[in-house]
């Protein structure tokens, strides 16, 4: 009997871990696969909630913990964090020597494990390639990861075609759907009363959830934040803020959100919302506001009206639950009114989410177990050019 394939998986934050949970569980349970989980980045930061504890509570074994996140709020700090992560991951992957490295999405720190794997001749499998988010550096990171990777797991058919357009061989590219949607089918989500207890608030009052991040492509990464916060300050609804990603400007964004919360007792800021708790909060919310991919990829499965603000997610495929709005006070006020209207909510009945059906992890893990390894996987071939 052949040895189990060693699959190293990297996770750097609460956001990507929430997507990866069922993949991690399915790799662990598969007789032909052995999980090597590497935890780094914001997971190990007290400022961002020490979310490594969530992984420990889930009982998923951790092979390596790597401190990489600088105590910084600048683009220089972001760039240096990539270098620190590269050093730590070189040692970790040198020890583990997995048969395959699995990473997800588009965070800048994911350039570090992909680059290290390239130098160590470890093939890379990439989740959520082919997406578009033209208003963030994530867009360039995602496409760079595609070219550094040897297997691709896309969320939509459009994303699959875009990866093929980048020159990847068709046998390497698999549409599996968005992993985060597996929670709706497989996870036990907290009840409304459990959400209220965990957050120490009542959901009797209509609640607007805010998931707002710095716009990393802009020199002023918070240039859209003031307009959003000003519009939210005038809302009569209860407001729940989620902590932003650890990008340049995140500390100042948190400070501005805290100032708004201090001015009104029905506004709340949470450093970390465990992924099933976040799902359940969205299930009972009236509206999601911000520039997070969760409004594009996950909220449609709950038929939750979403205001997608500004540039960050420009270009992504979206369902009809998403209202695109510029970060301008009059436009935001009109869009909020539309999103909160009963008419708009009713129009979402029967909507299909283009990001999948909640079976992504099982499809992905089947490919990991069956794809030939060795030089056939590592050696990427250029596609023939069409004759001029």
Sign of CA dihedral 186, 187, 188, 191: negative
Residues 47 and 77 in one domain: yes
Shared-domain flag, residues 150 and 23: yes
**Which residues have a Cβ under 8 Å from the Cβ of 94 and sit 6 or more positions away?**
120
- The DSSP 8-state label assigned to residue 13 in this structure reads S
Indicate whether 209 and 171 sit together in one domain: no
Asked, for residue 184, whether it belongs to a domain, the answer is: no
The tally of domains found in the chain comes to 2
- The DSSP code sequence of 113-164 is HHHHHHHTT--EEEESTT---TTSTHHHHHHHHHHH-SEEEESSHHHHHHHH
Instruction: Let me know: does 26 contact 32? Beta carbons within 8 Å.
Output: no
Mean pLDDT by 10 residues, the chain (388 residues): 90 96 98 98 95 97 96 93 98 98 97 98 98 93 98 98 96 98 96 98 97 92 93 96 93 96 96 94 98 96 97 94 96 97 96 96 98 94 80
Looking at residue 273, its pLDDT comes to 92
Q: Which residue has the tokens 């997995």?
A: 98
Residue 1: predicted pLDDT: 56
Q: What is the pLDDT of residue 161?
A: 98
Write down the pLDDT at residue 2: 74
Helix/strand/coil percent split, the chain, to 5: 45, 15, 40
Contact criterion met (CB below 8 Å) for 40 and 63: no
Query: Does 160 share its domain with 285?
Result: no
Residue 130 is part of which domain span? 5-177+358-378
d(CA 32, CA 34): 7
Question: How much is the pLDDT for 366?
Answer: 98
Q: Please indicate, yes or no, whether residues 36 and 11 belong to a single structural domain of this protein.
A: yes
The answer to whether the beta carbons of residues 275 and 17 sit under 8 Å apart is: yes
- Cα–Cα distance, 113 to 12 (Å, whole number): 11
At 178, is the secondary structure helix, strand, or coil? Answer: coil
Tell whether 163 and 234 lie within a shared domain. Answer: no
Helix (H) or strand (E) holding 289: strand 287-290
Residue 297 falls inside a structural domain: yes
CATH number of the domain bearing residue 118: 3.40.50.2000
Judge if 343 and 364 occupy the same domain: no
pTM beyond 0.85:
yes
Please give the backbone phi and psi of residue 13, each rounded to the nearest 5 degrees, phi first.
Answer: -160, 170
Question: Both 248 and 106 in a single domain?
Answer: no
Question: Do 246 and 112 share a structural domain?
Answer: no
pLDDT of 383 reads 83
């Amino acid at each position: 009997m052949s040895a189990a394939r060693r699959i190293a998986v990297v996770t750097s934050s609460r956001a990507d871990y929430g997507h990866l949970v069922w993949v991690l569980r399915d790799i662990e349970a598969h007789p032909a696969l052995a999980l090597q989980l590497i935890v780094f980045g914001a997971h190990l930061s007290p400022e961002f909630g020490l979310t490594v504890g969530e992984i420990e509570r889930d009982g998923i074994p951790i092979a390596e913990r790597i401190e990489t996140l600088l105590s910084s709020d600048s683009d220089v700090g972001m760039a240096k964090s990539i270098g620190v992560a590269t050093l730590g991951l070189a040692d970790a992957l040198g020890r583990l020597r997995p048969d395959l490295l699995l990473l997800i999405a588009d965070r800048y720190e994911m350039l570090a494990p992909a680059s290290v794997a390239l130098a160590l001749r470890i093939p890379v499998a990439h989740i959520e390639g082919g997406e578009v988010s033209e208003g963030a550096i994530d867009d360039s990171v995602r496409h760079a990861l595609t070219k550094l990777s040897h297997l691709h797991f896309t969320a939509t058919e459009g994303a699959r075609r875009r990866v093929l357009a980048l020159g990847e061989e068709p046998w390497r590219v698999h549409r599996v759907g968005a992993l985060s949607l597996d929670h709706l089918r497989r996870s036990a989500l907290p009840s409304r009363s459990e959400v209220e207890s965990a957050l120490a608030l009542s959901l009797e009052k209509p609640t607007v959830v805010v998931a707002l991040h710095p716009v990393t492509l802009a020199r002023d990464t918070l240039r859209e934040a003031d307009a959003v916060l000003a519009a939210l300050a005038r809302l009569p609804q209860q407001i729940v803020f989620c902590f932003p990603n650890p990008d340049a400007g995140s500390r100042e964004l948190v400070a501005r959100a805290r100032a708004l919360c201090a001015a009104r007792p029905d506004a709340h800021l949470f450093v970390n919302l465990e992924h099933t708790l976040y799902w359940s909060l969205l299930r009972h919310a009236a509206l999601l506001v911000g520039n997070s991919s969760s409004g594009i990829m996950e909220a449609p499965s709950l038929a939750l009206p979403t205001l997608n603000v500004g540039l960050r997610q420009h270009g992504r495929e979206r369902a009809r639950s998403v209202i695109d709005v510029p970060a301008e006070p009059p436009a935001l006020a009109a869009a909020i009114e539309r999103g909160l209207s009963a008419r708009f909510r009713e129009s979402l009945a029967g909507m299909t989410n283009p990001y999948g059906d909640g079976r992504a992890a099982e499809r992905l893990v089947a490919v990991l177990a069956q794809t030939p390894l060795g030089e056939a996987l590592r050696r990427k071939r250029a596609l023939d050019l069409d004759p001029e």
